[in-house]
Amino acid sequence: MLLLGHRGAFRYAAENTLTAFDLALAHGCDGFEFDVRRTADGQAVICHDERYRDRKIASSSYESLSPTGELLCLQHVLARYANRSFLYIELKDNGLEGVVLDALRDCPPERGYVVASFLPNVLEQLHALNSKVPLGLIARYSRQLERWRQSPVQYVMPKYSLVSPQTLELLHSAGKTVFVWTVNSQRQMRALSAAGADGMLSDDTDLLCRTFGRHAGQGGRISS
């Protein structure tokens, strides 16, 4: 089972930062999830929320958002982690598909990755542009989860509250890999592992790794 940090080591460091990503790996995770948004000038920046420092990302240029360059871009993350981490790349916006595919072509992750989204049209566009890219559908609600049947995805990422042994059996029988989010209690971690989850995201990366006997700095090698 893959152990993944949610926005890095979210419980221990500022989300979606190099510090959080490094710490998730130091705790023993195989990789981490991070969020990507599109700026007005077409940059793929790493941020969960629609706004960064009170500016709306979609209507702002990268330079206006980050005059000193502190806001991470996808290229920064790929350059730093492509050879040592499984990367769960969540796209929050439309219009990023080409930028993301170009970045992945220029710096392909060596330890596996998935490009995921809540937005079915984003996944369909990615698939149309490159059918070989591993894609994942994220679901918070049951109606979103049902879309996996029509989506061109290899991965399904349900919220933990949607997951039962029967759900996992159904998805596995359809050949899907299942990553569950965001799992922060040891009881839930153990139950979902026993039920057959293929990957697990947690804010508490230290607890996640200790629960499964993963020692700091000993993330496993992943294949996509």
Question: Looking at residue 122, which CATH number applies to its domain?
Answer: 3.20.20.190
The 8 Å CB, 24+ separation contacts for 53-57 are none
**What pLDDT does residue 214 have?**
87
DSSP structural state of residue 133: S
**Confidence class of residue 208 from pLDDT cuts 50, 70 and 90?**
very high
The mean pLDDT value for 96-122 works out to 97
**What pLDDT does residue 220 have?**
44
Flag whether 23 is in a domain: yes
In the chain, the number of structural domains is 1
11-48 pLDDT, tens per residue? Answer: 999 999 999 999 999 999 999 999 999 999 999 999 99
44-61 pLDDT, tens per residue? Answer: 999 999 999 999 999 999
Beta-strand relationship, 51-52 and 135-139? unpaired
- Going through the chain in order, the beta strands assigned E by DSSP cover 2-6, 31-38, 44-46, 51-52, 55-56, 86-91, 113-117, 135-139, 155-158, 177-180, 199-202
**Which residues are CB-neighbours of 184 under 8 A, at least 6 positions away?**
11, 202, 203, 204, 207
**What pLDDT does residue 219 have?**
57
Flag whether 196 is in a domain: yes
Distance of CA 207 to CAs 1, 4, 18, 29, 188, Å?
A: 15, 12, 20, 11, 12
Flag whether 17 is in a domain: yes
The mean pLDDT value for 149-158 works out to 98
Let me know if 174 is exposed, middle or buried by CB neighbors in 10 A (0-12, 13-18, 19+).
exposed
**Confidence class of residue 139 from pLDDT cuts 50, 70 and 90?**
very high
Flag whether 98 is in a domain: yes
CA nearest 11: which of 153, 137, 184, 198? 184
CA nearest 148: which of 115, 123, 180? 123
The upper half-sphere exposure of residue 70, i.e. CA atoms within 13 Å in the direction of its Cβ, equals 7
**Confidence class of residue 223 from pLDDT cuts 50, 70 and 90?**
very low
Query: pLDDT over 70 for what percent of the chain?
Result: 96
Boundaries of domain holding 121? 2-211
222/75: higher pLDDT? 75
Flag whether 18 is in a domain: yes
**Confidence class of residue 217 from pLDDT cuts 50, 70 and 90?**
low
Flag whether 218 is in a domain: no
113 strand-pairing partners: 87
Query: pLDDT over 90 for what percent of the chain?
Result: 95
Flag whether 223 is in a domain: no
Distance CA 143, CA 193 (A): 24
pLDDT, the chain, mean: 95
**What pLDDT does residue 9 have?**
98
Model pTM score? 0.95
Flag whether 219 is in a domain: no
**What pLDDT does residue 45 have?**
98
